[in-house]
Amino acid sequence: MGGWAIAVHGGAGVDPNLPQQRQEEAKQLLNRCLNLGIDALRSNLSAVDVVELVVRELETDPVFNSGRGSALTAKGTVEMESSIMDGRGRRCGAVSGLTTVKNPVSLARLVMERSPHSYLAFAGAEDFARQQGVEVVDNEYFITEENVGMLKLAKEANTIMFDYRVPEAVGLETCSAVVESPILMNGLPISVYAPETVGCVVVDSQGRCAAATSTGGLLNKMSGRIGDSPLIGAGTYASNLCGVSCTGEGEAIIRGTLAREVAAVMEYKGLGLQEAVDFVIKERLDEGKAGLIAVSNKGEVAWGFNTTGMFRGCATEDGFMEVGIWD
């Protein structure tokens, strides 16, 4: 056992011209969440307890695209999704299509622990939330003025947007997130790429790994669209070997079963954690853009991405701590 380790992310694909103030806001939140997780680990909370705790904090703050501050659908509403996985026995829970649950990651955990299923969605997930007595709020709670403006820009451009905070009063024609040669999603061009999703991975002092991921999804997405974040093996995975949380182009992450692939190449190719992350980012995304964070049962932490940047932070029991955005 190499001691505990923790990593958090707030999305991959950062606009290279993102205002400094927004960069600092993101770093401050990542630092706060890291310290929250570190304190919990020092108090001997289990890995799965810590990932839930940290992701709840990320969902509550509107800086990133999850919980309050989630991206809006084409209808102007919020539909959230989340998953959590405990490496012990590969237990998991996932939810999609949430419109009133304040902390989707906690409902995902309840699916894991208090239902006979692994995944609940839309009306069924909302009904389960009320049966379990979790905190619910009006959909308006999740909607921010900034995201209303973002949706307006997306509709004017007739495009899907990976939500991140395009500076206010900046039109799509002048935003650096616009690409001259759009990337493709399932073969169709999209005009704007920016990060989405939050996640946390933890290995505790007993070598137990866990992972959790949460998101509001794509801005201006079709109602009912489900991304990689709630899909076990795609956006989230944990085993007795490692824990992984992904972010980026959901359709590419799904096709590559990205999170599970990290564990698979460690297990079957004998790669170390960072080697496995690098291999998967290089070999399993095809033309897709994404990033991920990971921990191993040896107390290692790793990350990788093929985008311009990824909001991330990590810390280990030996005193290492880092928060960054760029490569």
Amino acid at site 84: I
Residue the block writes with tokens 């890291």: 34
Please count the residues of the chain.
327
For residue 197, indicate whether it is catalytic.
yes
Angle (nearest 5°) at CA 281 between 275 and 286? 140
- Is 250 a known ligand-binding residue? yes
From 194, 287, 206, 280, select the one nearest 237 (Cα to Cα): 280
- Is 256 a known ligand-binding residue? no
- Is 236 a known ligand-binding residue? no
- Is 248 a known ligand-binding residue? yes
φ and ψ of 26, to 5 deg: -65, -45
Distances (CA, A) of 285 to 269, 302, 307: 18, 18, 12
- Is 225 a known ligand-binding residue? yes
Whole-number Å distance between alpha carbons of 113 and 306: 35
- Is 249 a known ligand-binding residue? yes
Taking the C-alpha atoms of 247, 253, 256 and 261 in order, what is their torsion angle to the nearest 10 degrees?
30
- Is 227 a known ligand-binding residue? yes
Whole-number Å distance between alpha carbons of 6 and 110: 22
Please pick, among 73, 197, 215, 257, the residue that the annotation labels catalytic: 197
- Is 73 a known ligand-binding residue? no
Whole-number Å distance between alpha carbons of 212 and 109: 9
Annotated binding site for substrate: 225-228, 247-250
Annotated binding site: 225-228, 247-250
Catalytic residues: 197
